Amino acid sequence: MTAPLIELRKADKRFLTEEIETHVLSGVNLTIERGEYVAIAGPSGCGKSTLLSILGLLDLPTSGEYLLNGNSVAGHSAAELAALRNAAIGFIFQNFNLIGDLTIRENVALPLRYRRGIGAEERDAAVDAALARVEMSHRASHYPWQLSGGQQQRVAVARAIAGRPTILLADEPTGNLDSRNGELVMELIRGLHREGATVCMVTHDPRYADHAERRIELFDGRLLDAAHAHCRTAIQEAS
């Protein structure tokens, strides 16, 4: 039987500031299968972005276990985690995170420059394919400041998919976009999923959470089961 792509087991995340310990995540059990489209929903401050950072190996749980492709990441060095992240995970951030003094092509190529075993010709082909996929080939020589917010986010998607990651993680990908551009980016993400991509997206917007195959509710650092999530949603809609 194939192991889940990602599995969290009893994951906690705690931060210590000025001798005060804050529990951000508590006892999170989560599996993401290959080819799934999962939305993590919940109010601001409930731990969604922290959970996504852990899923993306940008952070590690304080306790509990994280398995990627059935293998625990515990004990890996920072360099090993960075290599795993670069090879397996593509990120789409709310604030685009493009580098202003690099061209669009250079921004999309940047993660591939840190990947071992990929030559210039293969890298150029991957960048060309990613830019074509998001319909931004004609802007390859431009800089981020010359693009609209929607165009910058499409470039961010191209950067995320250029290396053919195992999973695509999106943190409020429409948060800085108007409704029209938000819908365009969401349709792009849906298209990538239809083509076989595994997607995990954090959002506070129920319209976009409903685009996913599976919706996970996070509240005060804990995952709610289906019954509790349905009850809470019904209460919110009635109020």
CA atoms of 109 and 123, how far apart (whole Å)? 7
CA atoms of 115 and 29, how far apart (whole Å)? 31
Q: What is the pTM of this model?
A: 0.87
Q: What is the pLDDT of residues 1-58, one digit of tens each?
A: 688 999 999 999 998 887 788 889 999 999 999 999 999 998 888 899 999 999 999 9
Question: Domain spans of the chain?
Answer: 35-61+82-238
Q: What is the pLDDT of residues 131-147, one digit of tens each?
A: 999 999 999 999 999 99
Structure tokens at 234: 């019904």
| In 157-197, beta strands by DSSP E | 167-171
The correct answer on CATH 3.90.1150.10 for the domain covering 35-61+82-238 is no
